[in-house]
Amino acid sequence: MTIFIPTPLRPYAAGQASVEVKAATIADALASLTGSHPELRKHLYTEEGKLRAFVNLYLNDEDIRYLPAKEATSVSATDTLSIIPSIAGGC
Amino acid sequence: MSSLRLSRSIYDAMRAHGEQTYPHECCGALLGRFVPAEAACNEFGGWIVEANVRAGNTRTDSAHNRYQIAPIELVKIEREARSRGLDIAGFYHSHPDHPAQWSPTDFEEAHWLGCCYVITAVANGKATVTNSFFLAGLREEEKRFEQQTIELTGPGTELPGG
Ligand SMILES: [Zn+2]
């Protein structure tokens, strides 16, 4: 499957905008991504190993938080995973 | 100081968006290409913005002083950027009746390191000052906003007074 890397994280993924991984589930895909680009880990996860609160993960057009199996959801080669830091603010 | 380059039409479009949503905050994304220092003829390099995309403000509960872009909208904006061979260069929003400076909320909620956050002050429905802040730092814990110069490319590059 293809994982899309957002602009801020590309320096930690060898400058790539997308990374191809072979994976059976979303969790597999993330493990494969951080396995080949270990620097990404601290940008995606807290020290306790939880996904940072401002990092959104979308399997195609679905927020993985709302998928019944969440990160255990199975994926196919044509699926895409988007890593999307949140955008908000105010005045 | 680093700079953000964009055309007069994109600059005007962002400001018009803020006037149209007044007294609510507008928000949107900027698509462009990052130019390394040498090509940008300065020591920083910087973004050249080639398109802006309007987004909806999902903070309908407090739209006069908060904005948020739905992540699914960002997924689609990123797809649009890819199809044009561009990257997400940054984001813009407006400050209705508030200065064009980043707020503590803007800072806390800013996570796109290496991208630009453009803020337009809209006073009584008229866009006044527009500023750009580059989110510098290599990780979330070290992030900081650095003000940038906005360079308007193409015809009519004079910035309105503020
Ligand atoms: Zn703001």
pLDDT digits (tens, 9 = 90+) for B45-82: 789 999 999 999 999 999 999 999 999 999 999 999 99
Q: Cα of A61 to ligand 1 centre, how many Å? A: 28
Cβ proximity of A29 and A21 under 8 Å: yes
How many domains in chain B? 1
pLDDT digits (tens, 9 = 90+) for B6-52: 999 999 999 999 999 999 999 999 999 998 877 666 666 789 999 99
Domain membership of residue B158 (yes or no) is no
Nearest-angstrom CA–CA distance, A80 and A4:
7
> Considering only residues 32 to 91 of chain B, which have any Cβ-Cβ distance to chain A shorter than 8 Å?
59, 62, 65-69, 71-72, 74-75, 78, 82, 87-89, 91
**Which pLDDT score is estimated for B153?**
83
Q: What is the DSSP string of A43-79?
A: HHB-TTSPBPTTEEEEETTEEGGGSTTGGG-B--TT-
CATH number of the domain at B49, please: 3.40.140.10
Domain membership of residue B162 (yes or no) is no
Nearest-angstrom CA–CA distance, B83 and A42:
29
pLDDT digits (tens, 9 = 90+) for A58-77: 999 999 999 999 999 999 99
**For residues A46-62, average pLDDT:** 96
pTM over 0.90: yes
Cis peptide before B23 (omega within 30 of 0): yes
Domain membership of residue B160 (yes or no) is no
Whether residue B117 is predicted with pLDDT greater than 90 in this model: the reply is yes
Q: What's the gap in Å between the CA of A55 and the closest CA on chain B?
A: 9
Mean pLDDT value across chain A: 97
Whether residue B161 is predicted with pLDDT greater than 70 in this model: the reply is no
- Domains of chain A (ranges plus CATH)? 2-85 (3.10.20.30)
Domain span at B147: 3-153
**Which pLDDT score is estimated for A52?**
96
Q: Which residue of chain B comes nearest to A52, CA vs CA?
A: B140
Domain membership of residue B39 (yes or no) is yes
Among A42, A56, A89, whose Cβ lies nearest the Cβ of B67? A89
Task: Place B158 in a pLDDT band, splitting at 50, 70 and 90.
Answer: very low
**Which pLDDT score is estimated for A86?**
97
Task: Place B156 in a pLDDT band, splitting at 50, 70 and 90.
Answer: very low
Contact: A7, B112; criterion CB under 8 Å? yes
